Homo-oligomer: A and B are copies of this chain.
């Protein structure tokens, strides 16, 4: 088999199940791709070939011995370094956690292992999954940011180093890097994936998400990890969305009615990106209409930062007071914004966010999905920033499922994602619309 590291997770899992490919061969191909590219891309913070090969060989042997394979049997996955791993350090992108070795796997890593995945290594996160960048560069153009905070997870998948990876999103940390690097990024409905053993910044906003190179792969890994965990208080009672079955059922589906949403931060988009998004929406013809969000959404971004910064002032209170030299200036600036905020201001911002979530449920009822920019433009040619998350805050705050589909190109030929958003718990719809758009692009191209 030629270049197995370029297979999608769905293809790789099928080839392993059928005996056409071994997990060991696949892992070796991924590690060779990483060896060739890592010095430039810098997607990984911890790689342990021996642990990866040991997992792969054990899975190959289990299959040979007749064991029923899990849905991800033998497929390697990269894990953002904010999720605890019992056999690899978890350092949170911070010097304060250098060399830290958890004694237990996080919930999502446990579920991936149960599904048969190989945990290939830990991917670079920005400092505490916030704004201060790590070493990762954009694999499409090494002078550009990969976005953040899930920098390594997005870059590794986009660069064919691994077919799947796990990231997280509190503002725009999944969708924006997906758009910048040209990977499929999926932030599910709030409460779909356990956050146990992940560094929590803000219970109200933190989501687990996944990267892949095909919509089907998002469904495959999603089904494997959307399982209830009583140790995450915010999980849905029924977090599974039957994504693989949903996509199969919707194989011939085409959406009846889509909406194009510019959103209140439209002015923050680059001119060429605005043109590209508007042209794309126009090209979809009669099935798409324009939806203007009501004025209650105008303050969504501001409220988002009130909620997040309040939590950062609490979560990092001790570090800010005792070891400020170990925190980045960007993080300290956010904490400094959070400290003077009044509790009643946080309550009001949270109440408005909750009200927006209810409003969106009603606004979306008429549409199969909503299309909106995944990012304000191409990845900036600046490695000191991770770019602007303004186009992601509303959808994170409202807990709706969002997918970044690498459908467009910017003026410099860099990828530009279209963000597909569906009502809460209609994750299968978000994926079905994403696949439909992707197939159209392929048949056009």
Contacts and interface: CB of A to CB of B under 8 A. Distances in A.
B314 A348 contact: yes
Contacts of A345: 314, 343
A248 interface: no
Interface in A98-122: none
A13 to B, nearest CB: 31
A40 to B, nearest CB: 40
A205 to B, nearest CB: 12
Contacts of A347: 310-311, 313-315, 346
Instruction: Indicate how many identical chains form the complex.
Output: 2
Contacts of A314: 343-345, 347-348, 351
A90 B342 CA distance: 31
Interface residues on A, range: 20 to 34
B237 A358 contact: no
Nearest to A316: B344
A231 B357 CA distance: 11
A358 B313 contact: no
A236 interface: yes
A317 B343 contact: no
B310 A343 contact: yes
Given A310-B344, A338-B343, 9 more contacts: A233-B358, A236-B237, A310-B347, A313-B342, A314-B344, A314-B345, A339-B342, A340-B342, A343-B346
Interface in A283-314: 306, 310-311, 313-314
A357 to B, nearest CB: 8
A238 interface: yes
18 contacts: A231-B358, A233-B354, A233-B357, A236-B237, A310-B344, A311-B347, A313-B347, A314-B344, A315-B347, A317-B344, A317-B348, A338-B344, A339-B342, A340-B342, A341-B342, A341-B343, A342-B343, A343-B346
Contact of A344 (B231, B236, B313): B313
Contacts of A236: 237
Interface in A193-207: 203
Nearest to A310: B343
**A-B residue pairs, 9 tightest by C-beta:** A237-B237, A310-B343, A313-B344, A314-B347, A343-B346, A314-B344, A341-B343, A314-B348, A343-B343
A350 to B, nearest CB: 9
Nearest to A340: B342
A222 to B, nearest CB: 20
A358 B341 CA distance: 28
A369 to B, nearest CB: 21
B342 A342 contact: yes
Contacts of A341: 342-344
Contacts of A344: 310-311, 313-314, 317, 338-339, 341
Nearest to A313: B344
Nearest to A342: B343
A398 to B, nearest CB: 12
Pick the most buried of A310, A339, A358: most chain B CB atoms within 10 A of its CB.
A310
